[in-house]
Structure 1
Amino acid sequence: MKFGKEFASQMVPEWQYAYMDYNYLKTLLKEIRRFKQRTKPPVTTPAGLKRKLTMYRAFSGLIHRHVKSPNGGPGGDIEDQVILVRAMQSDQGSSSDHVNYQSNFLMSAEEGGEYELLYFRRLDDELNKVNKFYRDKVDEVLKEAAQLNKQMDALIAFRIKAENPNIDGIGDFENFDRNVEMCHLASGVAASTAALNASTPCRAKSTKGYMGIIEEVEPSNRDDAEGYMDVIEEFLLNNGVNSGDTSADTDVNEHKATNSSVCEERPDSIKGSRPTRLQILNHVKLNNTLETPRSTIKGILKISMNRELNPKDLNKVERQLKRTFIEFYQKLRLLKSYSFLNLLAFSKIMKKYDKITSRSAARAYLSMVDDSYLGSSDEVTRLMERVEATFIKHFSNSNHRKGINILRPKEKRERHRTTFSIGFLAGGTTALLVALLLIIHARHILYKEGSSQYMETMFPLYSLFGFVVLHMVMYGMNIYFWRRYRVNHPFIFGVKQGTELGYREVFLLSSCLAVLAFASVLANLDMEMDPITKDFKALTELVPLGLVCLVLAITFCPFDIIYRSSRFFLLRCALHCISAPLYKVTLADFFLADQLTSQVQSFRSLEFYICYYGWGDYKMRTNNCKNYDVYTTFFYIVAVVPFWFRFLQCIRRWLEEKDPMQGYNGLKYFSIILSIVMRTAYSMNKGMLWQVFAVITSAIAAIVSTYWDLVFDWGLLQRNSKNQWLRDKLLISHKSIYFGAMILDVILRFAWLQTVLDFKVSFLHREAMIAVVASLEIIRRGIWNFFRLENEHLNNVGKFRAFKSVPLPFNCDEDEDEDEDN
Structure 2
Amino acid sequence: MKLDKTFESHLTSEWRQQYVNYEELKDLLHTALQNAPNPRDKNAYDVYCQNFNDDFYAKLTTELKRVNEFFEYKMAEARRKHATLKVKLLYMKGQSEANVTGAVKGLPPLADQPRNLRKLDRAYAEFYFSLVLLNNYQQLNYACFFKLSQKCRKYFPTSNGPRWIQSTLDVTPLNIDGVELREMISEVEDLFTQYITDGDRGKAMEKLRVPPLGQPTSMGYVFSAGVFMGLFIVSIVVCVISAYILFSNTNQFFIFTRLFRGSFVLMLYGFSVVANVYVWQSVGINHVLIFDLNPRNQTECLKLLSTASFFGYVCVLAMLLFIHHKEFGVRDPFYIPLVGLVLPLALLINPVHIMNFPARMWILQCFGRILAAPFCYVHFADFWIADQLGSLVQCSVDYYQLIRFYVRYSMDRENTFDFEPDAMVSVLRCLPAWFRMAQCIKRYRDSPIKPASYLVNAFAYGSTLVVSVISAIQMETSSKYQSIFENPWTWGYLVSTLVSTIYCTAWDLLQDYGLFKVWRGKNIFLRKRLIYPKWVYYYAILADLSIRFFWAFEVYLIYNNLLLPNNIKTLNSICEIKRRFIWNTLRLENEHLYNCGNFRATRDIYVSALNSRDELLVKNLLDESRRNTEARRDSNATKVTHSDSPPS
- 1:486 corresponds to 2:423: no
- 1:373 corresponds to 2:176: no
Mapped to 1, the partners of 2:99 and 2:457 lie a distance apart of 48
Mapped to 2, the partners of 1:395 and 1:420 lie a distance apart of 38
- 1:135 corresponds to 2:72: yes
The residue number in structure 2 matching 1:400 is: 201
The structure-2 alpha-carbon separation of the partners of 1:156 and 1:802, relative to structure 1 and needing over 3 Å to count, comes to same
- 1:663 corresponds to 2:471: no
How is 1:732-811 mapped onto 2 (pairs within 5 angstroms)?
732=532, 734-759=533-558, 765-809=564-608, 811=610
Counterpart amino acid of residue 641 in structure 1: L
Give, in angstroms, the shift of residue 491 of structure 1: 0.9
The residue number in structure 2 matching 1:328 is: 127
Q: TM-score, normalised by structure 2?
A: 0.86
Give, in angstroms, the shift of residue 792 of structure 1: 0.8
Give, in angstroms, the shift of residue 397 of structure 1: 1.7
Give, in angstroms, the shift of residue 125 of structure 1: 1.2
The residue number in structure 1 matching 2:16 is: 16
Give, in angstroms, the shift of residue 720 of structure 1: 5.3
How is 1:380-399 mapped onto 2 (pairs within 5 angstroms)?
380-399=181-200
**Paired residues of 1:679 and 1:755 also in contact (CA < 8 A):** no
The structure-2 alpha-carbon separation of the partners of 1:482 and 1:626, relative to structure 1 and needing over 3 Å to count, comes to closer
The residue number in structure 1 matching 2:626 is: none
How is 1:640-719 mapped onto 2 (pairs within 5 angstroms)?
640-657=430-447, 658-686=450-478, 687-688=484-485, 689-719=488-518
Matched residue SS, 2:248: helix
Counterpart amino acid of residue 6 in structure 1: T
- 1:146 corresponds to 2:83: yes
**Paired residues of 1:183 and 1:390 also in contact (CA < 8 A):** no
Counterpart amino acid of residue 510 in structure 1: A
- 1:580 corresponds to 2:580: no
Mapped to 2, the partners of 1:724 and 1:546 lie a distance apart of 49
- 1:475 corresponds to 2:265: no
- 1:358 corresponds to 2:149: no
Query: What CA deviation, in whole Å up to 9, does each residue of 1:206-232 have, x standing for no partner?
Result: xxxxxxxxxxxxxxxxxxxxxxxxxxx
Matched residue SS, 1:524: helix
**Paired residues of 2:39 and 2:45 also in contact (CA < 8 A):** no
**Paired residues of 1:392 and 1:403 also in contact (CA < 8 A):** yes
Counterpart amino acid of residue 446 in structure 1: S
Mapped to 1, the partners of 2:563 and 2:550 lie a distance apart of 16
Gaps of 5+ in 2: 479-483, 621-648
Mapped to 2, the partners of 1:507 and 1:373 lie a distance apart of 45
**Paired residues of 2:516 and 2:527 also in contact (CA < 8 A):** yes
Give, in angstroms, the shift of residue 379 of structure 1: 2.0
Counterpart amino acid of residue 398 in structure 1: G
Matched residue SS, 1:397: coil
Matched residue SS, 1:472: helix
Mapped to 2, the partners of 1:700 and 1:484 lie a distance apart of 37
Counterpart amino acid of residue 285 in structure 1: Q
The residue number in structure 2 matching 1:726 is: 526
The structure-2 alpha-carbon separation of the partners of 1:656 and 1:42, relative to structure 1 and needing over 3 Å to count, comes to farther
Query: What CA deviation, in whole Å up to 9, does each residue of 1:632-678 have, x standing for no partner?
Result: 21111101101110111111111222111111011111112222333
**Paired residues of 2:267 and 2:311 also in contact (CA < 8 A):** yes
How is 1:231-380 mapped onto 2 (pairs within 5 angstroms)?
279-282=108-111, 284-286=112-114, 317-367=116-166, 368-377=168-177, 378-380=179-181
**Paired residues of 1:457 and 1:621 also in contact (CA < 8 A):** no
How is 1:116-131 mapped onto 2 (pairs within 5 angstroms)?
116-131=53-68
How is 1:140-219 mapped onto 2 (pairs within 5 angstroms)?
140-157=77-94, 182=99, 184=101, 187=102
Counterpart amino acid of residue 511 in structure 1: S
Query: What CA deviation, in whole Å up to 9, does each residue of 1:801-822 have, x standing for no partner?
Result: 112111114653438849x99x
How is 1:528-539 mapped onto 2 (pairs within 5 angstroms)?
539=332
Mapped to 2, the partners of 1:750 and 1:509 lie a distance apart of 33
The structure-2 alpha-carbon separation of the partners of 1:277 and 1:464, relative to structure 1 and needing over 3 Å to count, comes to farther
Give, in angstroms, the shift of residue 363 of structure 1: 0.8
Mapped to 2, the partners of 1:716 and 1:609 lie a distance apart of 40
Query: What CA deviation, in whole Å up to 9, does each residue of 1:585-605 have, x standing for no partner?
Result: 111111111111100101101
- 1:633 corresponds to 2:631: no
Matched residue SS, 1:285: coil
**Paired residues of 2:513 and 2:586 also in contact (CA < 8 A):** yes
The residue number in structure 2 matching 1:204 is: none
The structure-2 alpha-carbon separation of the partners of 1:329 and 1:616, relative to structure 1 and needing over 3 Å to count, comes to same
**Paired residues of 1:436 and 1:522 also in contact (CA < 8 A):** yes
**Paired residues of 2:197 and 2:203 also in contact (CA < 8 A):** yes
**Paired residues of 2:53 and 2:152 also in contact (CA < 8 A):** no
The structure-2 alpha-carbon separation of the partners of 1:519 and 1:541, relative to structure 1 and needing over 3 Å to count, comes to same
Give, in angstroms, the shift of residue 120 of structure 1: 2.4
The residue number in structure 2 matching 1:436 is: 239
What is the CA RMSD across the aligned residues, in angstroms? 3.1
The structure-2 alpha-carbon separation of the partners of 1:182 and 1:572, relative to structure 1 and needing over 3 Å to count, comes to farther
- 1:568 corresponds to 2:505: no
Counterpart amino acid of residue 77 in structure 2: E
Mapped to 1, the partners of 2:616 and 2:399 lie a distance apart of 60
Give, in angstroms, the shift of residue 717 of structure 1: 0.9
- 1:517 corresponds to 2:315: yes
Gaps of 5+ in 1: 44-79, 81-106, 159-169, 171-179, 188-270, 287-313, 529-535
Give, in angstroms, the shift of residue 181 of structure 1: 8.5
The structure-2 alpha-carbon separation of the partners of 1:714 and 1:721, relative to structure 1 and needing over 3 Å to count, comes to farther
Where relative contact order (Cα < 8 A, 6+ residues apart) is larger, the structure is 2
The residue number in structure 1 matching 2:396 is: 603
The structure-2 alpha-carbon separation of the partners of 1:108 and 1:154, relative to structure 1 and needing over 3 Å to count, comes to farther
Which among 102, 110, 121 is matched to residue 47 of structure 2? 110
Name which of structure 1's ranges 334-343 and 808-817 shifts more when overlaid on structure 2.
808-817
Mapped to 2, the partners of 1:2 and 1:685 lie a distance apart of 71
Q: Which has the higher helix share?
A: 2
**Paired residues of 2:129 and 2:210 also in contact (CA < 8 A):** no
Mapped to 2, the partners of 1:401 and 1:761 lie a distance apart of 70
The residue number in structure 1 matching 2:335 is: 542
- 1:421 corresponds to 2:233: no
Mapped to 1, the partners of 2:461 and 2:469 lie a distance apart of 12
- 1:35 corresponds to 2:32: no
Matched residue SS, 1:409: coil
**Paired residues of 2:268 and 2:577 also in contact (CA < 8 A):** yes
Mapped to 1, the partners of 2:414 and 2:137 lie a distance apart of 65
Percent identical among aligned pairs is 25
**Paired residues of 2:276 and 2:584 also in contact (CA < 8 A):** yes
**Paired residues of 1:616 and 1:625 also in contact (CA < 8 A):** no
**Paired residues of 1:28 and 1:115 also in contact (CA < 8 A):** no
Mapped to 1, the partners of 2:294 and 2:384 lie a distance apart of 17
The structure-2 alpha-carbon separation of the partners of 1:340 and 1:721, relative to structure 1 and needing over 3 Å to count, comes to farther
Matched residue SS, 1:702: helix
**Paired residues of 1:573 and 1:592 also in contact (CA < 8 A):** yes
Q: TM-score, normalised by structure 1?
A: 0.69
Mapped to 1, the partners of 2:147 and 2:350 lie a distance apart of 52
- 1:460 corresponds to 2:258: yes
**Number of aligned residues:** 603
Mapped to 1, the partners of 2:442 and 2:600 lie a distance apart of 23
Name which of structure 1's ranges 802-811 and 692-701 shifts more when overlaid on structure 2.
802-811
The structure-2 alpha-carbon separation of the partners of 1:41 and 1:619, relative to structure 1 and needing over 3 Å to count, comes to farther
The structure-2 alpha-carbon separation of the partners of 1:427 and 1:111, relative to structure 1 and needing over 3 Å to count, comes to closer
Give, in angstroms, the shift of residue 550 of structure 1: 3.1
Mapped to 2, the partners of 1:618 and 1:118 lie a distance apart of 88
Matched residue SS, 1:711: helix
**Paired residues of 1:694 and 1:756 also in contact (CA < 8 A):** no
Which among 341, 344, 350 is matched to residue 557 of structure 1? 350
